[in-house]
């Protein structure tokens, strides 16, 4: 039986004017696309090309996630992420969790839990990536302190980052990990355009 992966993805919007609603929302997605020229950790002068493909079994095809808390129970897998699921409403308060699992050849090779406290009117976006480090999050400046609350990130609108170790024999290169980045935008904090992540 295939294990269910709880994946919490937060809603990130490229512009504050995307939604007319003042209610809180969450969007979960896999950050696909080809990214070249990434320095290869431990190999000076060599570079990686990463695509986070939902069709590749050695990449993100085995991603599964489950979002729980405050009356929410939603699950996504790679097929769902291919269709780019839209943002959905979440409560203005309480805690929400994402249970994440990544499988290859029928075995779980990475897993973890992410949780954070919801806020009124905030638009959240959660993004998954397989990389040596998360893209666009800025420097990671310490732990948030609570269980499964992730690390504090330094980029604008970046709320938290979680790193899930990939089993050694399932990595494509030594420093590869599964990352979940949570972005947070409140309409009153955007004076013009909020460009978040990808």
Residues 6+ apart with CB under 8 A from 19: 13, 25, 87, 123
**pLDDT class of 196 with cuts at 50, 70, 90:** low
Confidence of residue 2 (pLDDT cuts 50, 70, 90): very low
Give mean pLDDT, residues 44-52: 86
Among candidates 178, 151, 147, which has minimal Cα distance to 164? 178
The C-alpha atoms of residue 112 and residue 137 are separated, in whole angstroms, by 19
**pLDDT value of residue 15:** 29
User: For residue 186, what pLDDT is reported?
Assistant: 86
pLDDT of residue 8: 31
Confidence (pLDDT) at 194: 57
Mean of pLDDT over the chain = 84
pLDDT value for 129: 95
pLDDT, one tens digit per residue, over 103-160 is 999 999 999 999 999 999 999 999 999 999 898 888 898 899 888 999 999 898 999 9
pLDDT at 192 over 80: no
- Using alpha carbons, select from 181, 192, 188, 196 the residue that is nearest to residue 122: 188
In this prediction, residue 14 has a pLDDT band, given cuts at 50, 70 and 90, of very low
What pLDDT is stored for residue 53 in this prediction?
94
Cα–Cα distance list, 114 to 7, 65, 133 (Å): 8, 11, 17
Quote the percentage of the chain above a pLDDT of 70.
84
CA 124/CA 158 separation, integer angstroms: 10
Q: What is the pLDDT of residue 190?
A: 63
Report the percent of the chain where pLDDT is more than 90: 58
Residue 98's contacts (CB-CB under 8 Å, 6 or more residues apart) are 6, 7, 8, 9, 28, 65, 66, 67, 68, 113, 114, 115, 126, 180
Q: Bigger pLDDT: 69 or 107? A: 107
Domain layout of the chain by residue ranges: 25-189
Query: Is pLDDT at 6 greater than 50 in this prediction?
Result: no
At 170-190, the pLDDT tens digits run 999 889 999 999 999 987 776
């Amino acid at each position: 039986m295939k294990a269910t992966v709880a994946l919490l993805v937060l809603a990130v919007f490229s512009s504050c004017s995307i939604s007319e609603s003042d209610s809180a929302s969450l969007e979960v997605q896999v950050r696909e696309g080809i990214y070249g020229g990434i320095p290869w950790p431990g190999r000076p002068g060599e570079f990686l090309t990463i695509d986070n493909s939902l069709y590749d079994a050695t990449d993100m095809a085995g991603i599964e996630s489950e979002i729980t808390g405050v009356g929410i129970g939603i699950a996504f897998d790679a097929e769902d992420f291919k269709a780019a699921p839209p943002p959905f409403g979440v409560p203005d308060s309480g805690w929400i969790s994402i249970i994440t699992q990544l499988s290859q050849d029928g075995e779980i090779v990475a897993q973890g839990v992410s949780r954070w406290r919801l806020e009124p009117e905030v638009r959240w976006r959660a993004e998954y990536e397989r990389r040596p480090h998360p893209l666009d999050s800025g420097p990671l400046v310490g732990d948030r302190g609570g269980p499964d609350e992730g690390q504090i990130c330094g980029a604008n609108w970046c709320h938290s980052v979680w790193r899930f170790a990939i089993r050694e024999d399932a990595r494509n290169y030594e420093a590869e990990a599964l990352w979940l980045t949570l972005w947070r935008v409140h309409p009153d904090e955007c004076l013009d355009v909020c460009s978040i992540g990808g």
